[in-house]
Amino acid sequence: MEVIIQADYDAVSRVAADLVEELVRKKPDCVLGLATGGTPVGLYQELIRRHQEEKLSFSKVTSFNLDEYYGLTPDHPQSYHYFMNEELFDHINIPKKNRHVPDGMAKNVEKWCKSYENKIKRAGGIDLQVLGIGGDGHIAFNEPGSSLVSRTRMKTLTEETIRDNKRFFNKNETVPIHAITMGVGTIMDAKHCIMIATGEKKAKIVAAALEGPVTSQVTASVLQMHPKTTVIIDEAAAKKLKNHKYYRWCYDRKPTG
């Protein structure tokens, strides 16, 4: 696991965008795993800028999103379909047929989830998976106690996640309590994972995920067992890491070639 500590949110977004750009230029038909939430917005803005100003093309890219609230239609302003259109898809050129976001209205959820897994497989697997981390340590909506080998399925959100995500909803709206989410095992199959986190609020859970035991109670901790994960965080989110000096030392002396 590589840990990259940057000064602030913008720098984190730029370094994450560098990794996405590097892959897209090297492998134009790559498969991206995409995340929602507040954290990746800066990354998406940077990708949009590079698309518009620097001719970064996504015309052959395929994407799979991590999760979607169960019960929200794609045109619901708080759905992750809507979020992805607003924050990324409407501004870059990933072909519509290549974009995949879990169906929050799926009737036969089990069957739908299996077909999502199959689609990922048929696409050749995910080359680069973007991840945030929840206040309770979740990756995607894999809440504490999720099996570390789980696949795409329905999950019940924790009170903490519902509270955290309330900020995106209007006062009179209720946050859905279920979601369809890629499993921890689905994420672990990605060839490269990048986890981004910023702000002091994330410092404790980032330390637990990176330096604590691997446990289903903090599903992000399983990334310690992933063969290629890059964690990109700002100074504030790195505050509680015991080995932060060593991570900086490594980054400054990164071998080339």
Q: How far apart are CA 31 and CA 61, in angstroms?
A: 6
Has 136 been annotated as catalytic?
yes
Answer yes or no whether residue 33 interacts with ligand PGA by CB under 6 A.
no
Catalytic (active site) residue 127 = no
Please identify which of the residues 46, 51, 67, 87 carries the catalytic annotation. Answer: 67
- What is the distance, to the nearest Å, from the Cα of residue 141 to the centroid of all Cα atoms in its chain? 10
Interface residue with ligand PGA among 132, 137, 176, 183 (CB under 6 A) is: 132
Q: What gap in Å lies between CA 91 and CA 46, rounded to an integer? A: 11
- In this structure, what are the phi and psi dihedrals at residue 229, rounded to the nearest 5 degrees? -125, 135
- Applying CB under 6 A, the span of 24-32, 57-65, 128-136, 169-177 interacting with ligand PGA comes to 128-136
Residue 67 is among the residues annotated as catalytic for this protein: yes
Token pair recorded at residue 167: 């900020």
Give all strands (DSSP E) within the chain, no chain letters.
Answer: 2-6, 31-34, 62-65, 67-69, 99-100, 128-131, 153-156, 178-181, 192-197, 229-234
Please identify, using beta-carbon distances, which residue of 38 and 185 lies nearer to ligand PGA: 38
CB 144 within 8 A of CB 216: yes
Q: Is 134 in the site for ligand PGA (CB under 6 A)?
A: yes
Minimal distance in Å, beta carbon 39 to ligand PGA?
3
Instruction: Give the residue, chosen from 10, 19, 38, 105, that forms a contact with ligand PGA under the rule CB under 6 A.
Output: 38
Among positions 37, 42, 102, 137, the unique one binding ligand PGA when judged by CB under 6 A:
37
Residues touching ligand PGA, count (CB under 6 A): 6
Which residue, judged by CB position, is nearest to ligand PGA in the bound state?
37
What is the rounded distance in angstroms from the CA atom of residue 104 to the CA atom of residue 73? 6
Beta bridge partners of 23: none
Q: Which of 6, 39, 62, 219 binds ligand PGA (CB under 6 A)?
A: 39
Does 133 contact ligand PGA by CB under 6 A? Answer: yes
Which residues are catalytic, by number? 67, 136, 138, 143
